[in-house]
Amino acid sequence: MRGCSVLGRVWCGCGQTPGIHAAAKGFGTEARHHQQPQGSSKQSGPLRDQPFPGLLQPENLSRPLVTLNKPQGLPVTGKPGELTLLSVLPELSRSLGLGEQELQVVRASGKETSGLVLLSSCPQTASRLQKFFSHSRRTQRPIATYCAVTNGIPATTEGKIQAALKLEHIDGVNLAVPVKPPSRKDILEGVKRTLSHFRVMATGSGCALVQLQPLTVFPSQLQVHMVLQLCPVLGDHTYSARVGTVLGQRFLLPAESTKPRKQVLDEALLRHLHLTPSQAAQLPLHLHLHRLHLPVARPTAAPIEFLAPLPSYFSRTLQCLGLHQP
C-alpha cells in the first residue's frame, strides 16, 4: 500500500458483536471498539459521556464502519500522486474484502495530528453520522477526545477555552489568528467563535498531559487554544512562537506579526526528553485523537467508543516526563 500499511476493524452495527477484523497491517497500533458496561458510572461535568436521544438507532448503523489509527504527518487529502489517506482507501477496501463498496471518510484528524479515523462503506450511514456530529456541535456535547502534551501547565485543572478565530494568510501560509471582540461584520467575513473543554490529567517536568474536547470545528483550533493558555502543544512548530518568555513569565505575542518557527524548548525540558535542540526541532506534534464517542438512541443502551492507542513517540514522551497515560 505505497509503503504505508493499515490496521483497523470493520464494525457491523451498533450494539452488535464486532464483525470482520481487518487482516491488513496497520498505520500504527490498532484502533479499538469499546462499549461501556450498562450501569457503569461516569464522571459528571462537561467531559462526561452523554446520550444523544433521537438521532441514532442500531438499525441505522448496520453497514460496516472501519476504524484506523492514523500516523502524525499523513494528510487526509492532497495533490494527485501524493500519499494521503484518500489515496490508500481503494486498496484498503480490497484488503477488507468490501468489493465494489467504496470507503469514505466520516471523521479524521488533520495532517499534523495522529489518531482515530472513522470510515464507512455505506453512504447512508456516513450521512447519518455527519448529521449526528452536526447535532452534537449545535448542542455543545463533545464526541471527540484528544490527548495532548503541553509545554507548560494550565493555570486551572479544567475549564473552557473560548476564542473567536479567523484564517489569515501570513508568509504564504493560512494561519488561525484570534479576533477579539468579533463584530457582526467579522462573523460574516469568516470569523468563527470556537470552544473547547480541557482537563489536566497529569503534570510533571513543567509539562502537562491534557485531555481536550473541541465543541466547534476550526483549523488548528486546539493548538491555538492551548497557546492562548500559554501552554503550546509539544511539537507545535507553527503556533508556539506566539508565546514569549521574560524572566520566567510567559505572555502572548501579537499573532499577526509572529511568524511560525521551530519550537524552542528550555534546557531542563530537553534533558528530561533526552533530546538535543536539533532533535527537538523535529519533534512531532503531540496531539492525538484518542477517542470517538457514538451514543445510541436508547438511554439505557451502552455508549459506543472507538479508541486509538497513543503513538510510540507520544508514550515515550510521557515516560520521560513522568506522566501517566490515560
Decide if pLDDT at 150 tops 90: yes
Model pTM?
0.82
Give CA separation, 67 vs 106, 158, 240, 297, in Å: 10, 29, 31, 21
pLDDT tens profile 251-304: 999 998 899 999 999 999 999 999 999 999 999 999 999 999 886 666 666 778
Residues forming beta bridges with residue 114, ordered by sequence position: 288
**How many Cα atoms within 13 Å fall on the side-chain side of residue 212?**
32
Return d(Cα 193, Cα 231) in angstroms, integer. Answer: 20
pLDDT at 53: 33
Mean pLDDT of the chain: 81
Query: Are the C-beta atoms of 93 and 102 separated by less than 8 Å?
Result: yes
Query: Are the C-beta atoms of 1 and 88 separated by less than 8 Å?
Result: yes
Structure-block grid coordinates of residue 184 = 457582526
pLDDT at 325: 62
Phi, psi of 75 (to 5 degrees): -80, 160
How do the domains of the chain map onto residue ranges? 8-146+295-310, 148-209+216-280
Residues 64-74 have a mean pLDDT of 91
pLDDT tens profile 285-297: 999 999 998 866 6
Query: Are the C-beta atoms of 106 and 119 separated by less than 8 Å?
Result: yes
pLDDT tens profile 152-166: 999 999 999 999 999
Q: What b/e string do you get for 230-258 counting C-beta neighbours within 10 Å, with b at 16 or more? A: bbbbbbbbbbbbbbeeeeeeeeeeebeeb
pLDDT tens profile 207-249: 999 999 999 999 999 999 999 999 999 999 999 999 999 988 9
Q: Which segments within 94-172 are labelled E, that is strand?
A: 104-108, 114-120, 144-151, 158-170
Return d(Cα 287, Cα 214) in angstroms, integer. Answer: 13
pLDDT tens profile 82-104: 999 999 999 888 888 887 788 99
